[in-house]
């Protein structure tokens, strides 16, 4: 980071605005915005994030900073009519961190800068309150000692406790001025001893050191960890806000509070917040006394209350969103200390967006930007009954959503054993590792006492779609004794617990689970227009309608049977983008496939295929009927054949045992031979996909015949089948040409035999790098491409998904190699570049080439935006993700339109 000569490192609150968050941080930008709205903000200025970056990179603040701060401080002093630290009437300031993204509690703040042995006397006489002045001074030494000079905070706490004990009182408000004077002496001694220097008496030195401490707090371990977990870039730096102090602890006509412009849980308008009389902000956090509801302020100080209500309306109208606010009242004068667009629950996000549309504050396109697919997905999980009586055990990180109930087990072996006997279990560990995988699969949910959002438990649970709460630190997990302790409560193996992966809460006993009303709505069991319709459902309904109106991407489902297809249709699917036919070969049909693989002669093989044909045909008829009038992409058989054969070890043991008894079964011996022959070291890269179709004569032809006959039958029954045949794992156009020729011949035969014209289209998956790189050639033989981004991600990265996710992905995420698994969100730079290239090349050869994606990414919010941007025609995802994909496709289109017209 090089210093630019004309660079400005300090902005007065009157100079900034809310769009300057990169430079002034969230807090600084909003303080400036409020100042310029004419709201009562204590005057002050902001040191930019750029200054912080220079400091962090070079080890010292930019050369120009000192003079700039001096000039702004002088202006502040003249505005306030007093000087920083002036002995008879000191100006005091707070020094607060404020990064672009809120990092609650992560970084430092020092209040009451400017107090010294001399100016504390001046403050006492100005305020007419000696106790207040000495209390402010001891707070400064305590905060400064801890955050700036690195003194162990407990030393101050202990000294404060001793002072209270000596006076036989329990709360610090019972200490008088004389006690606090003594305490200041003790605190100064602690500083001198522990920091090896006296507490600085010079106000400017205090301020400069505090600014440096805030800069340094960007790189504390906890701040780094938080950023990694929240995916906040590590190079943003923090701004520093220097603000003249106002005091809420000057008597009963003073106080401090927090407020929301509407309820962050429901979105309802009203008076929401807390107020604490005669207190400073940190007292609210410390919970020394109980706060009162904000509405009570009306009776305490009507003038300030009315002013606050007016300001809240101003802020909401100005920000066009829910705002949260921190304020202080100093002797009847209201001051605004902070505002920002407030966090809200997923449900409130939808409600607030539609409420703001109704109020005329935002339009539909903006409403779409106020919600997200992640929030919608959260609303679709079953949840705990809010009305149920619960016993809260503790709270951890909401790592993977859902509501799970089960018996506590403390090791994977027990989890598997109990779940096999039909028990529902919750696996509780300090943290999980790859050895716990079986236990995690067997459990309803996973609970850990350590680790954050990128811990093994969190990553793997999210990948599996399992409920997970991690890092619940209050829980003392003792895996050896198979129990956990929370305060006085001991939870033994077998005790029932309930965990909420959407809130991170952990409960004792069984909490009843209710289905999500949003799913009930998508299923058609609840109507948004009904009189008793849930407010949330009505909001979701409206937002989905906006999304459907603007989106360009169509949304299809990955579904293999009529039941899934029908659900997908109810959820808004516009077709099937991937029917994996291998799912139709399992169960009882597995034996038929076995016969096909074992066939020695053409006759045997034909018999096996003929037995499969009618079954396949029946599957397709059902599917085409469920999706009548909409496109259905049927993929020919993809996975390695050995997946249809018995496990090699099990079968070897069976044969060996039989041989030792001298009653070896002829069929088993043949089977074992076949299993050996088909065994592969890397099945993912072996005999699968189109390769199977090319080496097993008649296999693809049988599937194509089943598809064509099913389509013909539907047509003859006056149906409207729109079938697309998809060839998997193609790497070169020649493979596709051979399969196509064979398929075309079969289709022509069926057309002739049934007297129908079928118009089946034939296309391919693009899931190998070579396919993407030669897309221009492949498009000559393909009427459509569907990007198989699961395999494309595996092959571009050289990752075997089944192996890597559970083994080293946690380490990769923790080291920041990627922020999110590339199997979850498309890797735009790598895999995405190939997709983009193949789209361009494919369309250059065949302008009407239909393009879609059917890997898991088709239902991932961020990836949907990418697919919109590269110009695909549709995304295809599991039925449950369809609403999310619809919403995100709408958001992507609205966002793109917004930026076009800007
Ligand atoms: C893919 O590879 O993205 C795909 C959809 O195919 P499968 O997951 O069945 O390999
Ligand atoms: Mg694939």
Mind spelling out the 3-state secondary structure of 15-31? CCCHHHHHHHHHHHHHH
Q: How many CB atoms lie within 10 A of CB 491?
A: 22
Span(s) in the chain for CATH 3.30.1490.20: 10-244
Question: What topology does CATH give the domain 255-341?
Answer: D-amino Acid Aminotransferase; Chain A, domain 1 (3.30.470)
Mean pLDDT of 283-311: 86
Q: Which residues of 641-668 are buried (b: 16+ CB within 10 A; e: fewer)?
A: bbebbbeeeebeebbeeeeeeeebeeee
Exposed / middle / buried, residue 323 (Cβ in 10 Å: 0-12, 13-18, 19+): buried
The helix-helix angle for 590-598 and 602-626 (nearest 10°) equals 150
| Residue 664 pLDDT grade (very low, low, confident, very high; cuts 50, 70, 90) | confident
- The SS3 assignment for 409 reads strand
* Mutational test site, ligand 1, from 559, 639, 767, max ligand atoms within 8 Å of CB: 767
Residues with Cβ within 8 Å of 442's Cβ and at least 6 positions away in sequence, in order, are 412, 415, 416, 418, 419, 420, 425, 427
Question: Is a pLDDT exceeding 90 seen at residue 465?
Answer: no
Cβ of 852 closer than 6 Å to ligand 1, yes or no, is: no
Q: How many CB atoms lie within 10 A of CB 614?
A: 11
Note whether 141 and 114 are within 8 A (CB).
no
- Paired with 508 in beta bridges are 391, 497
| Rounded distance between C-alpha atoms, residue 897 and residue 650, angstroms | 59
Cβ of 839 closer than 6 Å to ligand 1, yes or no, is: no
Span(s) in the chain for CATH 3.30.470.20: 255-341
pLDDT digits (tens, 9 = 90+) for 126-154: 999 999 999 999 999 999 999 999 999 99
CATH class of 10-244: alpha beta
* Mutational test site, ligand 1, from 855, 859, 876, max ligand atoms within 8 Å of CB: 855
Mean pLDDT of 288-306: 90
The whole-number pLDDT of residue 375 equals 92
Phi first, then psi, for residue 697 (nearest 5°) are -60, 135
∠ CA 218-223-227, nearest 5°, is 105
The whole-number pLDDT of residue 5 equals 66
| Residue 271 pLDDT grade (very low, low, confident, very high; cuts 50, 70, 90) | confident
Cβ of 390 closer than 6 Å to ligand 1, yes or no, is: no
Q: Tokens 């509405």 — which residue?
A: 295
Cβ of 208 closer than 6 Å to ligand 1, yes or no, is: no
Ligand 1 closest atom vs CA 856: 3
Note whether 581 and 616 are within 8 A (CB).
yes
* Mutational test site, ligand 1, from 560, 580, 795, max ligand atoms within 8 Å of CB: 580
The whole-number pLDDT of residue 377 equals 93
The whole-number pLDDT of residue 862 equals 95
Residues with Cβ within 8 Å of 799's Cβ and at least 6 positions away in sequence, in order, are 793, 822, 823
H-helix segments, 409-501:
412-420, 437-442, 456-464
Question: Is a pLDDT exceeding 80 seen at residue 798?
Answer: yes
Cβ of 855 closer than 6 Å to ligand 1, yes or no, is: yes
Mean pLDDT of 730-742: 98
Cβ of 578 closer than 6 Å to ligand 1, yes or no, is: yes
Q: Are strands 403-409 and 425-429 parallel, antiparallel or unpaired?
A: parallel
The whole-number pLDDT of residue 332 equals 96
Phi first, then psi, for residue 360 (nearest 5°) are 75, 15
Span(s) in the chain for CATH 3.20.20.60: 551-640+680-901
The whole-number pLDDT of residue 756 equals 96
| Rounded distance between C-alpha atoms, residue 139 and residue 136, angstroms | 5
The whole-number pLDDT of residue 287 equals 55
The whole-number pLDDT of residue 434 equals 77
∠ CA 895-898-902, nearest 5°, is 140
CATH architecture of structural domain 551-640+680-901 = Alpha-Beta Barrel (3.20)
Question: Is a pLDDT exceeding 50 seen at residue 235?
Answer: yes
* 372 Cα to the center of ligand 1, angstroms: 26
- How much is the pTM? 0.85
Question: Is a pLDDT exceeding 80 seen at residue 296?
Answer: yes
- Paired with 447 in beta bridges are 428, 469
* 376 Cα to the center of ligand 1, angstroms: 25
- DSSP-derived letter for residue 534 is -
Residues with Cβ within 8 Å of 176's Cβ and at least 6 positions away in sequence, in order, are 131
Note whether 483 and 410 are within 8 A (CB).
yes
| Residue 507 pLDDT grade (very low, low, confident, very high; cuts 50, 70, 90) | very high
| Residue 899 pLDDT grade (very low, low, confident, very high; cuts 50, 70, 90) | low
The whole-number pLDDT of residue 394 equals 93
Exposed / middle / buried, residue 443 (Cβ in 10 Å: 0-12, 13-18, 19+): buried
- The SS3 assignment for 638 reads coil
The whole-number pLDDT of residue 43 equals 97
Domain boundaries 382-513, corresponding CATH code: 3.50.30.10
E strands within 74-191? Answer: 93-99, 109-113
* 791 Cα to the center of ligand 1, angstroms: 6
What's the token pair of residue 59?
């080890």
Of the chain, the percentage scoring pLDDT greater than 90 comes to 74
Distances (CA, A) of 691 to 377, 484, 729: 38, 53, 8
Cβ of 639 closer than 6 Å to ligand 1, yes or no, is: no
Residue 708: which of 585, 616, 792 has the closest Cα?
616
Cβ of 364 closer than 6 Å to ligand 1, yes or no, is: no
Note whether 504 and 472 are within 8 A (CB).
yes
Ligand nearest the Cα atom of residue 558: 1
Q: Is the dihedral of CA 286, 290, 295, 301 positive or negative?
A: negative
Note whether 671 and 594 are within 8 A (CB).
yes
∠ CA 734-740-743, nearest 5°, is 150
| Residue 225 pLDDT grade (very low, low, confident, very high; cuts 50, 70, 90) | confident
Mean pLDDT of 111-129: 95
Tallying the residues shown for the chain, one arrives at 902
* 678 Cα to the center of ligand 1, angstroms: 21
The whole-number pLDDT of residue 902 equals 43
| Residue 289 pLDDT grade (very low, low, confident, very high; cuts 50, 70, 90) | low
Mean pLDDT of 731-743: 98
Cβ of 439 closer than 6 Å to ligand 1, yes or no, is: no
**Average predicted confidence (pLDDT) for the chain:** 92
pLDDT digits (tens, 9 = 90+) for 54-98: 999 999 999 999 999 999 999 999 999 999 999 999 999 999 999
Exposed / middle / buried, residue 286 (Cβ in 10 Å: 0-12, 13-18, 19+): exposed
Residue 853: which of 813, 898, 888 has the closest Cα?
888
Distances (CA, A) of 379 to 403, 498, 552, 568, 880: 12, 18, 24, 18, 12
Mean pLDDT of 638-654: 85
Ligand 1 closest atom vs CA 794: 2
pLDDT digits (tens, 9 = 90+) for 819-869: 788 999 999 999 999 999 999 999 999 999 999 999 999 999 999 999 999
The whole-number pLDDT of residue 900 equals 57
pLDDT digits (tens, 9 = 90+) for 518-567: 999 999 998 888 776 788 999 999 999 999 999 999 999 999 999 999 99
What's the token pair of residue 157?
């706490």
Q: Are strands 403-409 and 397-400 parallel, antiparallel or unpaired?
A: unpaired
Greatest extent of the chain over all pairs of C-alpha atoms, in Å: 108
Distances (CA, A) of 80 to 71, 110, 155, 246: 14, 20, 36, 12
Query: What distance lies between CA 776 and its chain's CA centroid?
Result: 37
* 444 Cα to the center of ligand 1, angstroms: 26
The whole-number pLDDT of residue 229 equals 63
Query: What distance lies between CA 76 and its chain's CA centroid?
Result: 42
Note whether 767 and 809 are within 8 A (CB).
no
Of all protein residues, the one whose alpha carbon is nearest to atom 4 of ligand 1 is: 788
Mean pLDDT of 611-624: 95
The residues assigned a catalytic role are 456, 854
* 508 Cα to the center of ligand 1, angstroms: 40
The whole-number pLDDT of residue 346 equals 87
Cβ of 729 closer than 6 Å to ligand 1, yes or no, is: no
Query: What distance lies between CA 398 and its chain's CA centroid?
Result: 10
E strands within 511-574? Answer: 513-514, 554-558
Residue 135: which of 241, 327, 278, 329 has the closest Cα?
278
Distances (CA, A) of 622 to 571, 615, 712, 721, 726: 19, 11, 13, 11, 19
* 423 Cα to the center of ligand 2, angstroms: 34
């Amino acid at each position: 980071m090089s210093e630019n000569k004309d660079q400005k490192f300090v902005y007065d609150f009157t100079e900034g605005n809310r769009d300057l968050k990169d430079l002034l941080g969230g807090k600084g930008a909003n303080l400036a915005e409020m100042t310029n709205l004419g709201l009562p903000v204590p005057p002050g200025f902001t040191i930019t994030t750029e200054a912080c970056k220079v400091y962090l990179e070079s080890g010292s603040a930019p050369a120009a900073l000192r003079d700039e701060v001096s000039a702004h401080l002088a202006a502040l002093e003249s505005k306030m009519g007093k000087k920083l630290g002036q002995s008879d009437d000191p100006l005091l300031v707070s020094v607060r961190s404020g990064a672009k993204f809120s990092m609650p509690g992560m970084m430092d703040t020092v209040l009451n800068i400017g107090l010294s042995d001399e100016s504390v006397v001046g403050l006492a006489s100005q305020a007419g309150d000696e106790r207040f002045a000495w209390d402010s001074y001891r707070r400064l030494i305590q905060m400064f000692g801890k955050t700036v000079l690195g003194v162990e905070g407990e030393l101050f706490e202990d000294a404060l406790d001793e002072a209270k004990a000596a006076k036989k009182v329990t709360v610090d408000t019972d200490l008088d001025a004389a006690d606090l004077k003594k305490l200041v002496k003790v605190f100064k001694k602690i500083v001198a001893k522990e920091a090896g220097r006296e507490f600085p008496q010079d106000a400017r030195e205090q301020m400069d050191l505090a600014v440096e401490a805030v800069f340094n707090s960007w790189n504390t371990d906890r701040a780094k960890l938080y950023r990694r977990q929240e995916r906040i870039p590590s190079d943003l730096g923090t701004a520093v806000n220097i603000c003249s102090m106002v005091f809420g602890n000057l008597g009963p006509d003073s106080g401090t509070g927090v407020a929301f412009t509407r309820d962050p849980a429901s979105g309802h308008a009203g008076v929401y917040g807390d107020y604490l009389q005669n207190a400073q902000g940190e007292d609210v956090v410390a919970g020394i006394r109980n706060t009162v509801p904000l509405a009570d302020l009306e009776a305490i100080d009507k003038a300030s209350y009315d002013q606050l209500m007016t300001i809240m309306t101003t802020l909401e109208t100005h920000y066009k969103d829910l705002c949260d606010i921190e304020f202080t009242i100093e002797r009847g004068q209201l001051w605004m200390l902070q505002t920002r667009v407030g966090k809200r629950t997923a449900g409130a996000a939808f409600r607030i967006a539609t409420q703001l549309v109704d109020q005329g504050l935002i339009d539909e396109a903006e409403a779409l930007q106020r919600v997200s697919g992640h929030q919608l997905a959260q609303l679709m999980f079953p949840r705990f009954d809010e009305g149920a009586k619960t016993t809260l055990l503790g709270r951890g990180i909401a790592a993977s959503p859902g509501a799970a109930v089960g018996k506590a087990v403390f090791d994977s072996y027990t989890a598997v054993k109990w779940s096999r006997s039909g028990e529902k279990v919750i696996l509780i560990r300090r943290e999980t590792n790859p050895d716990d995988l079986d236990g995690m699969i067997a459990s309803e949910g996973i609970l850990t006492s350590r680790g954050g959002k990128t811990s093994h438990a969190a990553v793997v649970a999210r990948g599996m779609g399992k409920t997970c709460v991690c890092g619940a630190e209050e829980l003392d997990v003792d895996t050896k004794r198979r129990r956990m302790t929370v305060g006085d409560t001991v939870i033994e193996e077998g005790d029932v617990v309930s965990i909420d992966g959407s809130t991170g809460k952990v409960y004792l006993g069984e909490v009843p689970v209710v289905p999500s009303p949003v799913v009930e709505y998508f299923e058609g069991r609840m109507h948004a227009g009904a009189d008793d319709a849930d407010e949330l459902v009505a909001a979701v309904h409206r937002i989905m309608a906006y999304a459907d109106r603007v989106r360009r991407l169509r949304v299809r489902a990955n579904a293999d049977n009529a039941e899934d297809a029908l659900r997908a249709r109810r959820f808004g699917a516009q077709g099937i983008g991937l029917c994996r036919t291998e799912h139709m070969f399992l169960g009882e049909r597995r034996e038929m496939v076995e016969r096909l693989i074992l066939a020695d002669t053409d006759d045997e093989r034909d018999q096996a295929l003929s037995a499969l044909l009618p079954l396949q045909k029946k599957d397709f008829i059902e599917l085409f009927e469920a999706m009548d009038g909409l496109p259905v992409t049927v993929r020919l058989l993809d996975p390695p054949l050995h997946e249809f054969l018995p496990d090699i070890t099990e079968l070897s043991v069976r044969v060996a045992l039989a041989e030792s008894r001298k009653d070896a079964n002829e069929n088993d011996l043949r089977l074992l031979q076949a299993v050996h022959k088909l065994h592969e070291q890397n099945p993912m890269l072996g005999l699968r996909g189109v390769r199977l179709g090319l080496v097993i004569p008649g296999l693809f032809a049988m599937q194509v015949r089943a598809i064509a006959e099913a389509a013909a039958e539907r047509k003859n029954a006056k149906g409207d089948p729109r079938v697309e045949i998809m060839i998997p794992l193609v790497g070169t156009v020649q493979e596709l040409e051979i399969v196509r020729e064979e398929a075309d011949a079969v289709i022509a035969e069926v057309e002739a035999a049934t007297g129908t014209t079928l118009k089946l289209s034939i296309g391919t998956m693009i899931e190998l790098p070579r396919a993407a790189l030669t897309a221009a050639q492949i498009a000559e033989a393909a009427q459509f491409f569907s990007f198989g981004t699961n395999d494309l991600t595996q092959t571009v990265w050289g990752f075997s998904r089944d192996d890597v996710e559970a083994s080293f992905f946690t380490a990769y995420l923790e080291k920041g190699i990627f922020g999110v698994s590339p199997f979850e969100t498309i890797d735009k730079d790598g895999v995405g570049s190939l997709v983009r290239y193949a789209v361009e090349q494919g369309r250059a050869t065949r302008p009407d080439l239909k393009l879609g994606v059917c890997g898991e990414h088709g239902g991932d919010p961020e990836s949907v935006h990418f697919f919109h941007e590269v110009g695909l025609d549709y995304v295809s995802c599991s039925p449950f993700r369809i609403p999310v994909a619809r919403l995100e496709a709408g958001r992507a289109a609205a966002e793109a339109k917004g930026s076009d017209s800007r």
